[in-house]
A = this chain, B = another copy of it.
Amino acid sequence: MTEPAVRRPKALAFDVFGTVVDWRTSIARESAEFLARIGRPDIDPHDFADQWRRRYMPAMATVSSGQRGFVKLDILHREMLEAVLLDRDIDVSTLDPAMLADWTDAWHRLDPWPDAVAGIARLRAAFPVVTLSNGNVSLMIDMARRAGLVWDAILGAEYARAYKPQPAAYLATADALAVEPHDVCLVAAHHSDLAAARGCGLMTAYIDRPMEYGGARAFDADAAQHWEYRADSLTALAEQLGC
């Protein structure tokens, strides 16, 4: 897949959940164990993962709207988990808090897509590669160390103290990199994220991840635009960028 020549970015900033790692399979795998432990093996773990993730945008919106101050995604993940359990009539107050903390930390243990580690390593040889994720710093560190991912810096929401798609998240990342927004390319599997980045002047690279939702249509499929780069893996993006 060869794209027409476009300006070369000076740095690559990565969305992570869905773009670099397969959150759904990983959260389902972990949740299956925890659900069995609490005596609810009847709950479908993939459905559980989807329900947990479905609360992601509304949870961040409470911060982005100013309704509450910035809190790390770990905090939101815990609250979202408790809400999903409550939806299934599970009384959270009866559960071991240490187990709930460990369950929440499942988001620190997501597996990378098969091309991610090699693709990012190739891209890193030519460009600074940073995270521009809503995940907090310790989550990103744990995930990267477990997966063998190497980042030049962990930027994004916690650094900016603003969640995507708030402009501050994208602009603070460019500022930390000391480059103009138009010299940063966001690499993401989500059209809505890319659209917000483009709105801030960033370049965009779309990575197609048809299995992110287990094959179901993405919530933002209608937001597709013509992005500067488009690839079906991070190794293919490296190829396009001549890495």
A residues whose Cβ falls under 8 Å from a Cβ of B: 72, 74, 128, 130, 136-138, 140-141, 144-145, 150-155, 158-159, 176-179
Query: Which residues does chain B contribute within 8 Å of A145, judged by CB atoms?
Result: 128, 152
Minimum CB–CB distance for A134 against chain B, Å: 15
| With A74-B178, A141-B153 already in contact, 7 other A-B pairs whose C-beta atoms are closer than 8 Å | A128-B145, A136-B176, A138-B179, A153-B153, A153-B154, A154-B154, A158-B176
- Inter-chain CA distance A155–B154, complex, in Å, is 9
Task: Write the nearest CB–CB distance from A156 to chain B, whole angstroms.
Answer: 11
A-B contact pairs, 16 of them (CB 8 A): A74-B178, A128-B141, A128-B145, A137-B177, A137-B178, A138-B177, A138-B179, A141-B152, A141-B153, A144-B152, A145-B152, A150-B150, A153-B153, A153-B154, A154-B154, A158-B176
Among B150, B154, B178, contact of A136 (Cβ-Cβ < 8 Å): B178
Least distance between A119 CB and chain B CB atoms (Å): 18
C-alpha gap A130/B136 in the complex (Å): 15
Q: Which 10 A-B pairs have the closest CB atoms?
A: A138-B178, A137-B176, A153-B154, A141-B152, A128-B141, A141-B153, A138-B177, A137-B153, A150-B150, A159-B159
Closest to A177 in B: B138
